[in-house]
């Protein structure tokens, strides 16, 4: 494992305006002052959290996927976030991990937010994935997934970094600030949560609070309220020392998820 340089973009998202969001994101990302390994964007970074699938869904070779490839190639790093994808007549809230060579890995949101009727428009994913970069095993998840620790459980030490990309409302920000450190401590892994800021088309306010928490629960990065593009480095030695000094995962329960 090598040190991993991560860039979080806690972005303001223009409601259901793909063109404007991609333009804004590209402009801000062009101002990156240093080379990074991984850029993480919020959930539905090109539209905001919406059920308007007929207007906002794209195919896997659509405009936003092409944009992800172009930005990944231009910045020579992985770029990741979720968007609405239509496939075989079904809609998915899909996390895409795009590499500079144009190859990508996908994760479809497992837990759909029924209180906002997401389950009425989208199809839930069934498979958890782990990707690798610079020796780090990384498990991506989306927003509401964070409330389900069994789905997030680091069984067998499968991952080193857990990532949640989100549109998490300010009125539940206390839950966000609690659950991310909990997932880090209980899974002995770094956890990164990337949220958005501003009001959406339903007048729901998002206050950011994007963060990175170490396996010991220490704050590596935390930013409330404002749009923020920030790069930091996480160190393998911090992960290894945490697991060596208190190796409680070896006593964890063994189970499978259907």
Active site residues: 43, 109, 143
> 238 by DSSP, 3-state: which?
helix
Task: Kindly report the backbone phi and psi dihedral angles of residue 108, in degrees, each rounded to the nearest multiple of 5, phi listed first.
Answer: -95, 130
- DSSP output for 134-172: TTEEEEEEEGGGGG-HHHH--GGG--SEEEEE----GGG
63-75 and 18-29 helices cross at what angle (nearest 10)?
0
Q: How much of the chain is helix, strand and coil, in % rounded to 5?
A: 30, 30, 40
> 101 by DSSP, 3-state: which?
coil
User: What would you measure as the largest C-alpha separation in the chain, in angstroms?
Assistant: 51
- 119 DSSP assignment: G
CA dist., res. 123 & res. 125, Å (int): 7
What tokens appear for 68 in the block?
């992800």
């Amino acid at each position: 494992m090598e040190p991993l340089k991560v860039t979080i973009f806690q972005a303001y998202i223009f409601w259901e305006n793909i063109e404007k969001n991609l333009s804004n994101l590209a402009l801000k990302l062009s101002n990156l002052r240093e080379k990074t390994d991984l850029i993480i964007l919020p959930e539905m970074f090109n539209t905001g959290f919406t059920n308007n699938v007929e207007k906002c869904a794209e195919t896997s070779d659509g405009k936003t996927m092409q944009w992800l490839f172009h930005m990944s190639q231009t910045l020579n790093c992985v770029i990741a976030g979720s968007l609405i994808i239509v496939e075989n007549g079904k809609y998915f809230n899909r996390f895409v991990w795009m590499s500079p060579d144009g190859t990508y890995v996908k994760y479809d949101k497992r837990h759909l937010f029924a209180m906002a009727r997401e389950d009425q428009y989208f199809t839930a994913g069934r498979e958890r994935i782990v990707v690798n970069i610079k020796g780090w095993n990384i498990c991506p998840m989306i927003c509401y997934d964070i409330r389900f620790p069994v789905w997030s459980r680091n069984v067998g030490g499968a991952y080193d970094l857990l990532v949640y990309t989100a549109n998490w409302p300010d009125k539940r920000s206390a839950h966000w600030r609690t659950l991310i450190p909990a997932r880090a401590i209980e899974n002995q892994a770094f956890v990164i949560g990337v949220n958005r800021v501003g009001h959406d088309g339903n007048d729901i306010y998002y206050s950011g609070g994007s963060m990175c928490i170490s396996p010991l629960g220490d704050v590596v990065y935390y930013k409330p309220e404002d749009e923020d593009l920030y790069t930091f480095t996480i160190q393998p030695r911090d992960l290894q020392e945490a697991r060596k000094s208190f190796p409680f995962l070896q006593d964890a329960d063994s189970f499978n998820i259907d």
